[in-house]
Amino acid sequence: MVIAIILGVCFGIVAHKAERSGVIWAFLTFLIYIATGILFYFVSNFLPSSISIDNVIVVAVIEVFIRVALSIFIAAGFLRGYFITILEALLCFRYLQHRRIVLLSMAAVALSCALLIATDSLFTGFINAVESSVSRHLGDIILEAPSGRTLTEYDTFIDSLCQTDTVKSATAVLSSQGLLLSAPGKVKTARIWGIELPRRLAVTPLHEALLFQKDKPAEQVGFAISDSPDAIGGIVGIGVLAQPDEITDAYDMDAVKGMLGQRMALTTGSMVQDRTNTDGSQPQFSRKVIKFNLADVAKTGVYEFDQSFVMLPIAELSKTLYPDKEPAANLIHIRLTAGADEEKAMAVVRGVWRSFAEDRFDWYGFVSITSAKQLNAQLIAEYRKQMTVLLFIFGLVSVGIILLVFCIFYLIVMTRRKDIGVLKSCGVSSGSVAGLFVLFGTVVGVVGAAAGVGLGWLIIDNINAIEQAIASVFGIKLWKASTYMFTQIPNTMHWGSVLWITAAGIIAAAVGSLIPAVAAARVKPVETLQYE
C-alpha cells in the first residue's frame, strides 16, 4: 500500500512537472489502467504452464499496486486540476450546447450502441430461450432408455428419485413416433407421448399451456371427455391441429376450440420386445391404431413442441403398444430443486438409476442420462457463433460511426481554430486544448452511449409490440414461429453486454476525438489570430 501511494505521488509529480496537463493525462492514466488489466488477463490466462503460481501472485500483486496508485493519482488529479481546468469544463459544456452537429455525433454513437445492444440482447434472449425451452418442457435432466426398450415399475424409480435432495419431481413418458389423422384428409406425423397427468404438471408448465383446462386446479386436469366418459382422451399440440395464418402467424382459435371432443385416429408402431422369439427369429414389428377424442389443446409457444405433440394417458398407450405388460415408459423427465448443481444431480440420478435398474433390466448400462442443456449444446454453440459474426459486422458499422464522429470533431476543431488561438494566447497549454476536445469527445460518448442504452432498452422491451405494428401496417410478419421457434420474440435485456458496449462506445468516441484533439493542440496562435 505504501508503495502504491508513493507510485501515485510519483505520477502526480511527473504530471505536475510536465505541465502537459489536461484530459490527455486522464486518458493516459486510463490507458495504463486498461493495459494493466489486459496484461494481467493475458498473463493469467494464456501463460499458465510457463508461469508458476508464485509468479502469477506476484503479477497480481503488482497489478493491484499499479491500479491503486493510479486511483490515488486520479483522485489527486481531480483535486489539483491536472486533468481538467474549469475553463475547459466550461468551454466543453458550451460547445456541447451550441453545436447542432454535436447532436449528430451523439445520435451516431447512440444508434450504434442501440444497434449492438439490441442485437446482442435479441440473440442472447433467443439462445436463452432455446436453452430454457427444453429444460422447461422436458425437465432439467432426461433419462432415456435405449431404443426399443422400456422400463416398467417406473413409479418405484420416481419415488426413490424424489427422495433425494436434488430432485424436485420426476415423471415418466412413453414416447414413440406416430401418424395422426385429426380430420378428414388431415394427416400429420406426430410425436406420441404417454404421460402421467398429475405428475407431469409438477415437472413442466403443461398446465398453463392447456387451452381449456388452464384455469382448473391442477388436481382436476385430466384426459376426461365430458360427453363420453369411457373414451380415451388426448391432448394435442395446437400446431398439429391447425396451421398458423400466413400473415398474422396466429392460430384460428375458434376453429381449434370447435375441434374439442372430436374423434381422431393415431397409428404408431411397436416391437414385441425385450425378448427374442423362441425360434430365434427377430421380434415381430406391428402397427397399432388408437382412436381417441380431443380432450385439450396445448399451446406452449415453442413451435417444435406445438407442431408435433400428441399426449395420451400413459396407461392407455402402454396397453395398446404392449398389451401383455404392465405400464411401461422409455423416458423419465426430471425436475431439479431450485439452485441444484447439475453435475451433482446427474451423479445422483445415475446412482439412483443403478440401484433401481441393476437387477431389473439387463440393458441398464445403456441408458442415456443427459441434461437439457447438453441436448442443444451444438445448436447453441452455432447460434453463439452467428451472434459473434453479426456483432462483428455491426462492430464494423460502428467503426464507420467512429469515422463519422472523427470527421465531425475534425470539423469542429477546424472551425474553432480562432478560439484555440485565443486560448493559447491566454496561456492555456496545448495539452489542455487537446484535453478540451478529448473531454468533449468523451462527453459525446457518454451521452450518446446512455441514449443508446435507453434506445436499445426501449426497442428490446417493446420488440413484440413493434413487430406487431410492422405486421399490421405493412402486412409483413417478421417473426414467424415456424422460422424462429417461438411465438414471442425474446425481450429480455442482456445487461451483461450493455456494460462492454457502453464502454466501447465511450472509448470509441474518445479515440475518435484524439486526432482532432492533436490537430487542435498543434494550432499556432500566431497564424489564427492575424485575421478574425
Partner 1 sequence: MIKWLLAWRYFFKRPISILAVVAVALCVFIVLVVMTVMNGLLRDFKQKNHNYAGDCIIASDSLVGFGYYEDFTSILEEQPYIEAVSPMAKGVGLVHLKQYKWDSGIEIHGIDPLLHSRVTSFADTLHYQKQTPEDAFRPQYAPQSDGCITGIELIPLGRRKTDGTYLYHDKPMRMELVISAFPLNIKGGLLRSLDLVSTKSFYYSDDSHSGLVKVDGAVVYIPLEQAQILCGMDSPIKRISSLHIRFADGESVQSSVAKVRRLWDEFVAQNINKPGGSLFSNVRVQSWQQNRRSVIAPMEKEQIMMTMLFLMLGVITVFIVFVVLYMIISHKSKDIGILKSMGVSMSSILGIFLLFSIFIASTGSLVGSVLGWIFLYKINDLEDWLYKNHNWQLWDRTVYAIGDIPNQVAPEVLAIIVGSAVFACMIGALVPGLQAARKKPVQSLQVNQL
Partner 2 sequence: METIIKTDNIKKSYKMGKTQLEVLRGVDLSIKKGEFVAVVGASGSGKSTLLHILGALDTPDSGSVHYQDQRLDRLRWGKLNHFRNKTVGFVFQFYHLLDELTVLENAMAPAMASVGTVGWPSLKPKIQERAYGLLERFGLKDRIKHKPYELSGGERQRVAIARALMNAPPLLLADEPTGNLDSQTGHGILEAFKELNAEGQTIVMVTHDERIADQASRTIQLLDGKVKS
Q: Site residues (CB under 8 A) for partner 1?
A: 101, 104, 108, 111, 115, 147-148, 176-179, 181, 183-190, 246, 265, 267-269, 271, 282, 285, 287, 289, 378-379, 381-382, 385, 389, 393, 396-397, 399-401, 403-404, 406-408, 410-411, 414-415, 417-418, 476, 478, 480, 482-483, 528, 531-532
**Interface with partner 2, residue 86, by CB under 8 A:** yes
User: In angstroms, what is the minimal distance from the CB of 106 to partner 2?
Assistant: 18
At its nearest, how many Å lie between partner 2 and the CB of residue 25? 12
Looking at residue 219, the DSSP 8-state letter turns out to be: G
**448 neighbors 109 (Cβ within 8 angstroms):** yes
Which stretch, 6-14, 197-205, 261-269, 520-528, contacts partner 2 (CB under 8 A)?
520-528
Site membership for partner 2, residue 419 (CB under 8 A): yes
Name which position in 56, 260, 369, 422 contacts partner 2 (CB under 8 A).
Answer: 422
Alpha-carbon distance 44 to 212, whole Å? 57
Residue closest to 455 by CA, chosen among 443, 466, 442: 466
Does the CA dihedral 36-42-43-44 come out positive or negative? positive
Q: Which does 7 bind (CB under 5 to 8 A by kind): partner 2, partner 1, none?
A: none
User: Greatest CA separation found in the chain?
Assistant: 113
Q: Which does 36 bind (CB under 5 to 8 A by kind): partner 2, partner 1, none?
A: none
Q: Is 263 left (phi over 0), alpha (psi -120 to 50) or beta?
A: beta
- Any contact of residue 385 with partner 2 (CB under 8 A)? no
Stretch that binds partner 2, among 76-84, 350-358, 359-367, 487-495 (CB under 8 A): 76-84
Contacts for 70 with CB less than 8 Å, ≥ 6 apart: 8, 11, 29, 32, 33
Among 95, 126, 292, 309, binds partner 2 (CB under 8 A): 95
- Distance, CA of 370 to CA of 366 (rounded, Å): 13
Q: Which does 98 bind (CB under 5 to 8 A by kind): partner 2, partner 1, none?
A: partner 2
Q: 185 vs 427, which CB is nearer to partner 2?
A: 427
- Bridge partners of residue 311, in order along the sequence: 193, 235
In terms of CB distance, is 162 or 515 closer to partner 1?
515
x-or-dash pattern for partner 2, window 1-20, by CB under 8 A? ----------------xxxx
List, in order, residues 6 or more apart from 328 with CB less than 8 Å away: 150, 151, 152, 154, 174, 318, 321, 322
Strand partners, 294: 234
**Considering the complex, what minimum distance in angstroms separates the CB of residue 111 from partner 1?**
7
What, of partner 1, partner 2, none, does residue 81 touch, CB below 5 to 8 Å by kind?
A: partner 2
Q: Is 29 left (phi over 0), alpha (psi -120 to 50) or beta?
A: alpha
User: In terms of CB distance, is 350 or 418 closer to partner 1?
Assistant: 418
State how far the Cα of 67 lies from the Cα of 39, in Å rounded to an integer. 12
* Strand 186-195 versus strand 328-329 pairing type: unpaired
Binding site for partner 2 (CB under 8 A): 17-20, 78-87, 89-91, 94-95, 97-98, 418-419, 421-430, 432, 524-526, 529-532
